[in-house]
């Protein structure tokens, strides 16, 4: 069977449309019975995608002429990111190994301004003091919402898996002169800047890939391989991440949990992203996400000419 994922595309100035992306030739093909809107609309409507597409194979189907691939989910209501969830990453950052009672912890990114799709630019402040870094991650896409979901039941709530790059500005993360220790870290400046969450190119459905643990996650900047680890080496596995997140907030269809990054980020080696570079993140069986890095230009003030 051809490897593929559910995607969102647009033709010209048209509307977002649900499609399928073949992994081998990156062709976008139409899916049977696609309703109005892209993948996020289908998930939020509760469309029975598994019932309609289980066993379906896009091999041999014609590509949609003029299809432009977008971020697969435009946009999740919640984008929940797990921090320090690989022991290898903790070690390279100089942190102590996780103990047996380690629990997941999370932060949020604003979805509508951080999420960009395959080929879209990551726009960074070119000031070297920003220290903009990369973090290749597995994205867990919620299909059926809920609160207090048990890890044993998590698979029934997951629509599929995607690729995420949790772009991070290390420079402004820690702030001097904070009025209290609780305010020492600026998560908005570090993690939530515009374009700081490339996602895609598609969502591999859970009925195609029920468990991504044995797949490898790799990240390159240019031709340099910097991250390479088994997905399942997470400290808190993807099922337990669903359990932990849903113990605090209600998960809704289309929400995404980014599962944390392994070793290989830039900060321990003093190597950060520069305009003109290209970042490529690949997870076997899920897809390859490629984004150029460009210098951010000051945005026009809303409502002015």
Q: Looking at residues 270-296, what average pLDDT do you find?
A: 97
- 79-295 fold: Fumarylacetoacetate hydrolase; domain 2 (3.90.850)
> What's the Cα-to-Cα distance from 90 to each of 46, 84, 95, 276, rounded to whole Å?
38, 6, 5, 29
Question: Global pTM?
Answer: 0.94
Please report, for the chain, the start and end positions of each structural domain, with discontinuous segments joined by +.
Answer: 4-69, 79-295
Give the integer Cα–Cα distance in Å for 187 and 83. 12
pLDDT digits (tens, 9 = 90+) for 176-189: 766 766 666 777 88
Residue 141 is encoded by which pair of tokens? 């896409």
The arithmetic mean of pLDDT across residues 26-32, rounded, is 95
Find the mean pLDDT for residues 281-298. Answer: 94
Question: What is the rounded distance in angstroms from the CA atom of residue 279 to the CA atom of residue 291?
Answer: 5
* Residue found under tokens 């997941």: 104
> Per-residue confidence at 220, pLDDT binned at 50, 70, 90?
very high
**Both structure tokens of 88:** 């290898």
Query: Are 75 and 252 spatial neighbours (Cβ–Cβ below 8 Å)?
Result: no
Q: Is the pLDDT of residue 304 over 50?
A: no
pLDDT at 174: 66
**Which tens digits make up the pLDDT trace of 84-118?**
999 999 999 888 888 888 999 999 999 999 999 99
Residue with tokens 């080496």: 233
Place of tokens 């062709």: 27
- Which runs of E-coded beta strand occur in 70-153? 79-82, 106-109, 115-116, 122-124, 132-133, 136-142
What local confidence, expressed as pLDDT, does residue 190 receive?
Answer: 86
Instruction: Say if residue 121's pLDDT is above 60.
Output: yes
């Amino acid at each position: 069977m051809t490897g593929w994922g559910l995607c969102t595309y647009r033709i010209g100035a048209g509307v977002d449309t649900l499609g399928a992306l073949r992994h081998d030739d990156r062709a976008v093909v139409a899916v049977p019975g696609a309703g109005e809107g892209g993948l996020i609309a289908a998930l939020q409507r509760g469309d029975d995608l598994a019932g309609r597409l289980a066993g379906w194979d896009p091999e041999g189907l014609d590509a949609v002429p003029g299809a432009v691939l977008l971020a697969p989910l435009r946009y999740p209501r919640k984008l929940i990111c797990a921090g320090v969830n690989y022991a290898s990453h903790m070690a390279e950052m100089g942190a102590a190994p996780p103990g047996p009672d380690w629990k997941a912890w999370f932060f949020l990114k604003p979805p509508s301004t951080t999420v960009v799709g395959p080929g879209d630019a990551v726009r960074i402040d070119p000031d070297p003091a920003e220290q903009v870094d990369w973090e290749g991650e597995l994205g867990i896409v919620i299909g059926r919402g809920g609160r207090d979901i048990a890890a044993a039941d998590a698979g029934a709530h997951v629509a599929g898996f995607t690729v995420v790059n949790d772009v991070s500005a290390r420079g402004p993360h820690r702030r001097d002169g904070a009025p209290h220790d609780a305010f020492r870290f600026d998560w908005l400046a570090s993690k939530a800047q515009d374009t700081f969450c490339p996602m895609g190119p598609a969502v591999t459905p859970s009925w195609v890939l029920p468990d991504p643990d044995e797949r490898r996650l790799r990240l390159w900047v240019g031709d340099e391989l910097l991250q390479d680890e088994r997905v399942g080496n997470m400290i808190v596995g993807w099922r337990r991440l669903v359990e932990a997140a849903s113990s605090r907030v209600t998960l809704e269809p289309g929400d995404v949990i980014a599962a944390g990054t392994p070793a290989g980020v830039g900060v321990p080696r003093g190597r950060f992203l520069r305009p003109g570079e290209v970042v490529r993140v690949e997870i076997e069986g899920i897809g390859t996400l490629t984004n150029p890095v460009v210098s951010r230009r000051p945005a026009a003030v809303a409502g002015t000419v």
